[in-house]
Amino acid sequence: MKMEQYIRAIAGTFILVSLALAHFHSRYWLFLTAFVGLNLLQSAFTRWCLMEDILDKAGVAKKER
């Protein structure tokens, strides 16, 4: 998979998990959903994504080979 696909999968997982936690545990988990959404929005404008840096250091390739 490409790094972009990993980032989308991770963001989607964080959102779904935080929504489930908000439903079953506490509404404060919705702050995690908002945090992920804000990071996605800022990365669209700044072209910088923290998860991309983390995956790059973990050795995930940016493009398929």
CA neighbours closer than 13 Å in the CB half-sphere of residue 47: 0
Task: Name the residue ranges covered by the structural domains of the chain.
Answer: 3-57
* pLDDT on residue 64: 66
What confidence score (pLDDT) does residue 43 get? Answer: 95
Compute how many other C-beta atoms are within 10 angstroms of the C-beta atom of residue 40. Answer: 15
pLDDT of residue 65: 59
State the pLDDT at residue 29.
97
* Model confidence pLDDT, tens digit, residues 15-65: 999 999 999 999 999 999 999 999 999 999 999 999 999 999 999 888 765
Whether residue 1 is predicted with pLDDT greater than 90 in this model: the reply is: no
